[in-house]
């Protein structure tokens, strides 16, 4: 049987490739972005209690109202910004589902969507599935700064959406207030929707403040925010996230959401609602992960890798240009097979596979794992 692929250039993801290689060779896996430690037992107790209390049937399509109210309270506390819990917040099966649904709801054939590379790998396939065109703007190591003049040049009458990601995966960079102000100015008096991927909002370092689009009124009015409980609370396998947007945008989102998932895991929603009643459960995350970043970097300070400390996320990019001239994918595979340490090469996220000789390492790991990984890096 013959068929025409809607994604002819998409194969096995680099995450699957590197994790399989790590498993095959018994390597320490710092490639995929998930912790190797447990969630808070209290959160799991809340979920178990929800199951025992009968929260085992379909949740309301937009989400458990207790949870959407807790999310609204969080935005009020952190950003002095309001989202209505019934009409402007929807609970999703992870942030990736939210991103796909947003793109599906608004992007049509011939539309153009601006993204910044290196980019999280779900953006472009979702755009292409709608028959639209991805306009990618390359960011360069080691700072991964956006040139807003280039963005201005790329905006056309076909531009329907701009996707930003801060803190940024895979580089660990963050957008500054000036960046958001320029984005706000560029999109003024347009019909452009902004999709702001903010899944690492609670993991930001060195006293930096997360610059959410909701802090900028004109941006907020045209923007979706996507977020992840999995990234925040060390349980990526739960696939729990949410998105926020003004009522008129969210109404269109829900038209698609109700037909691709309808609603998501009800006992987990109830458990998360109870857990969010204590703000310190997310307010302390930055210091928790900064300690891990600092430990990892202190352990490799005498290695031959170069780096700028990550400003957010739980990823650290390391420059290996003084070690080898190999293509980053080849070096990442050799590092896994011969040295027992798996990472992610950044060229796979870049435009035209641009190779900056950098690898991404996940430091959401136990101290022992980070020390073992550092010992390997120091020998290279």
Q: CATH number for the domain including 176?
A: 3.40.640.10
Same domain, 94 and 220: yes
pTM above 0.85, yes or no: yes
pLDDT at 32 over 90: no
| Residue 153: Cβ within 10 Å count | 10
CA angle, 32 then 37 then 41, to 5°: 135
Point out the domain boundary residue: 225, 248, 278. Answer: 278
Q: What is the pLDDT of residues 165-176, one digit of tens each?
A: 999 999 999 999
| pLDDT, tens digit, 9 for 90 and up, residues 225-269 | 999 999 999 999 999 999 999 999 999 999 999 999 999 999 999
**Are 106 and 208 in the same domain?**
yes
Q: Which two tokens stand for residue 209?
A: 């403040």
Q: Which residue has the higher pLDDT, 15 or 309?
A: 309
From the CB of residue 310, how many other CB atoms can be counted at a distance below 10 Å? 30
In DSSP terms, which residues pair with 116 in a beta bridge? 137
- Predicted pLDDT at 4: 87
Please check the confidence at residue 180 and state whether its pLDDT lies above 80.
yes
Residues 152 and 207 in one domain: yes
Cβ(62)–Cβ(86) below 8 Å: yes
Domain total of the chain: 2
Contacts of 351 (CB under 8 A, 6+ apart): 117, 136, 137, 138
Residues 116 and 214 in one domain: yes
Is residue 175 located within the same domain as residue 210?
Answer: yes
Verify that 183 and 118 share a domain, yes or no: yes
The count of C-alpha atoms lying within 13 angstroms of the C-alpha of 225, restricted to the half-sphere facing its C-beta, is 31
Look at residue 108 and tell me if it is in a domain.
Answer: yes
Residue 225 shares a structural domain with residue 317? no
Q: What is the mean pLDDT of residues 362-379?
A: 98
pLDDT-wise least confident of 28-37, 302-311, 369-378:
28-37
Question: Within this chain, do residues 80 and 229 fall inside the same structural domain, yes or no?
Answer: yes
Claim to verify: residue 297 and residue 254 sit in the same structural domain: no
In a domain, 43, yes or no: no
Are residues 229 and 355 located together in one domain of the fold?
A: no
Same domain flag for 172 and 299: no
140: helix, coil or strand? coil
**Within a domain: 156:** yes
Per residue in 60-112, pLDDT (tens digit) is: 999 999 999 999 999 999 999 999 999 999 999 999 999 999 999 999 999 99
Is 273 part of a structural domain of the chain?
A: yes
* pLDDT band, very low/low/confident/very high, at 3 (cuts 50, 70, 90): confident
Q: Which domain holds residue 217?
A: 59-278
The pLDDT confidence band at residue 1, using thresholds 50, 70 and 90, is: confident
Q: How confident is the model at residue 2 (pLDDT cuts 50, 70, 90)?
A: confident
Q: Indicate whether 165 and 294 sit together in one domain.
A: no
- Give the three-state DSSP class for 164: strand
CB-count burial class (<10 Å; 0-12, 13-18, 19+) for 177: exposed
Cβ neighbours of residue 191 closer than 8 Å, sequence gap 6 or more: 160
């Amino acid at each position: 049987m013959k068929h025409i692929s809607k994604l002819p250039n998409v194969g096995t993801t680099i995450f699957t490739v590197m994790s399989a290689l790590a498993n095959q060779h018994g390597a320490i896996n710092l490639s995929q972005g998930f912790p190797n430690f447990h969630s808070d037992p209290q959160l799991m107790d809340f979920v178990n209690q929800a199951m025992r209390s009968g929260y085992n049937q379909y949740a309301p399509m937009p989400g458990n109202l207790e949870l959407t109210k807790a999310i609204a309270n969080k935005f009020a506390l952190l950003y002095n910004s309001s989202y209505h819990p019934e009409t402007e917040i929807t609970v999703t099966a992870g942030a990736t589902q939210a991103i796909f649904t947003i793109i599906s709801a608004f992007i049509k054939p011939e539309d153009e969507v601006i993204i910044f590379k290196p980019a999280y790998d779900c953006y472009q396939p979702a755009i292409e599935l709608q028959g639209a065109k991805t306009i990618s703007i390359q960011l360069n190591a080691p700072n991964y700064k956006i040139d807003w003049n280039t963005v201005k040049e790329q905006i056309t009458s076909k531009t329907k959406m701009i996707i930003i990601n801060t803190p940024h995966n895979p580089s660990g960079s963050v957008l500054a207030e000036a960046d958001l102000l320029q984005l706000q100015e560029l999109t003024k008096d347009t019909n452009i929707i902004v999709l702001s991927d903010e899944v690492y909002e609670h993991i930001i370092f060195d006293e930096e403040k997360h610059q959410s689009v909701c802090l900028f009124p004109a941006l907020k009015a045209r923007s979706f925010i996507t977020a992840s409980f999995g990234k925040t609370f060390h349980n990526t396998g739960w696939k729990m996230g949410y998105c926020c947007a003004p009522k008129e945008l969210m109404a269109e989102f829900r038209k698609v959401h109700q037909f691709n998932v309808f609603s998501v895991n009800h006992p987990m929603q109830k458990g998360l609602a109870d857990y969010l009643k204590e703000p310190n459960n997310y307010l302390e995350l930055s210091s928790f992960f900064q300690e891990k970043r600092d430990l990892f970097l202190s352990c490799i300070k005498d290695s031959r890798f170069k780096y700028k400390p990550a400003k957010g996320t739980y990823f650290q990019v390391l420059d290996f240009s003084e070690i080898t001239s190999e293509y980053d994918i080849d070096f990442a595979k050799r590092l896994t097979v011969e040295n027992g340490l798996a990472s992610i090469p950044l060229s796979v996220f870049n435009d035209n596979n641009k190779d900056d000789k950098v690898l991404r390492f996940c430091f959401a790991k136990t101290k022992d794992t980070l020390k073992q990984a550092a010992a390997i890096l120091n020998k290279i």
